[in-house]
Amino acid sequence: MAVIPESLSLGELSHLEDLGIIDTILNVAVTGVSIAKEIEAIRASREATKTQDRLAKMQISIEQQRAAQEAIVKEAEA
Protein backbone atom coordinates (compact mmCIF):
# COMPACT_ATOMS: atom_id res chain seq x y z
CA MET A 1 0.00 0.00 0.00
CA ALA A 2 1.41 3.37 -0.99
CA VAL A 3 1.83 6.10 1.55
CA ILE A 4 0.97 9.58 0.33
CA PRO A 5 2.90 12.30 2.14
CA GLU A 6 1.07 15.27 3.64
CA SER A 7 2.55 17.67 1.13
CA LEU A 8 3.65 17.17 -2.45
CA SER A 9 5.59 19.35 -4.81
CA LEU A 10 3.95 20.63 -7.98
CA GLY A 11 6.02 18.18 -10.00
CA GLU A 12 4.91 15.27 -7.83
CA LEU A 13 1.27 16.32 -8.12
CA SER A 14 1.62 16.62 -11.88
CA HIS A 15 3.13 13.14 -12.04
CA LEU A 16 0.28 11.70 -9.93
CA GLU A 17 -2.23 13.44 -12.17
CA ASP A 18 -0.55 11.97 -15.26
CA LEU A 19 -0.92 8.51 -13.73
CA GLY A 20 -4.62 9.14 -13.02
CA ILE A 21 -4.11 8.77 -9.30
CA ILE A 22 -5.54 12.19 -8.46
CA ASP A 23 -8.81 11.33 -10.21
CA THR A 24 -8.94 8.02 -8.36
CA ILE A 25 -8.41 9.74 -5.01
CA LEU A 26 -11.14 12.28 -5.79
CA ASN A 27 -13.53 9.55 -6.94
CA VAL A 28 -12.92 7.59 -3.76
CA ALA A 29 -13.52 10.72 -1.67
CA VAL A 30 -16.77 11.52 -3.50
CA THR A 31 -17.92 7.91 -3.18
CA GLY A 32 -17.08 7.97 0.53
CA VAL A 33 -19.16 11.10 1.05
CA SER A 34 -22.04 9.54 -0.89
CA ILE A 35 -21.90 6.38 1.20
CA ALA A 36 -21.77 8.42 4.40
CA LYS A 37 -24.89 10.34 3.33
CA GLU A 38 -26.71 7.07 2.57
CA ILE A 39 -25.76 5.65 5.96
CA GLU A 40 -27.00 8.81 7.68
CA ALA A 41 -30.29 8.61 5.76
CA ILE A 42 -30.72 4.97 6.83
CA ARG A 43 -30.02 5.87 10.46
CA ALA A 44 -32.50 8.75 10.33
CA SER A 45 -35.13 6.48 8.78
CA ARG A 46 -34.60 3.85 11.49
CA GLU A 47 -34.89 6.50 14.21
CA ALA A 48 -38.08 7.85 12.64
CA THR A 49 -39.51 4.33 12.54
CA LYS A 50 -38.63 3.80 16.20
CA THR A 51 -40.30 7.10 17.08
CA GLN A 52 -43.42 6.16 15.11
CA ASP A 53 -43.53 2.79 16.89
CA ARG A 54 -43.25 4.52 20.28
CA LEU A 55 -46.02 6.96 19.37
CA ALA A 56 -48.25 4.13 18.17
CA LYS A 57 -47.71 2.26 21.46
CA MET A 58 -48.51 5.43 23.38
CA GLN A 59 -51.69 5.90 21.35
CA ILE A 60 -52.77 2.32 22.06
CA SER A 61 -52.07 2.90 25.76
CA ILE A 62 -54.13 6.10 25.75
CA GLU A 63 -57.01 4.33 23.99
CA GLN A 64 -56.85 1.49 26.51
CA GLN A 65 -56.94 3.99 29.38
CA ARG A 66 -59.96 5.72 27.86
CA ALA A 67 -61.77 2.41 27.43
CA ALA A 68 -60.99 1.48 31.03
CA GLN A 69 -62.24 4.85 32.26
CA GLU A 70 -65.42 4.52 30.23
CA ALA A 71 -65.98 1.04 31.69
CA ILE A 72 -65.49 2.38 35.22
CA VAL A 73 -67.95 5.22 34.57
CA LYS A 74 -70.55 2.85 33.10
CA GLU A 75 -70.12 0.48 36.05
CA ALA A 76 -70.48 3.35 38.50
CA GLU A 77 -73.63 4.56 36.74
CA ALA A 78 -75.20 1.10 36.83
Q: Which of 7-16, 36-45, 59-68 has the lowest mean pLDDT?
A: 7-16
pLDDT interval class at 21 (50, 70, 90): confident
Q: What pLDDT, in 10s, does the model give residues 30-60?
A: 999 999 999 999 999 999 999 999 999 999 9
pLDDT of residue 61: 92
As to burial, measured by CB atoms within 10 angstroms (0-12 exposed, 13-18 middle, 19+ buried), residue 22 is middle
Residue 58 has a pLDDT of: 93
Q: Is the model's pTM score more than 0.85?
A: no
Share of the chain above pLDDT 90, in %: 55
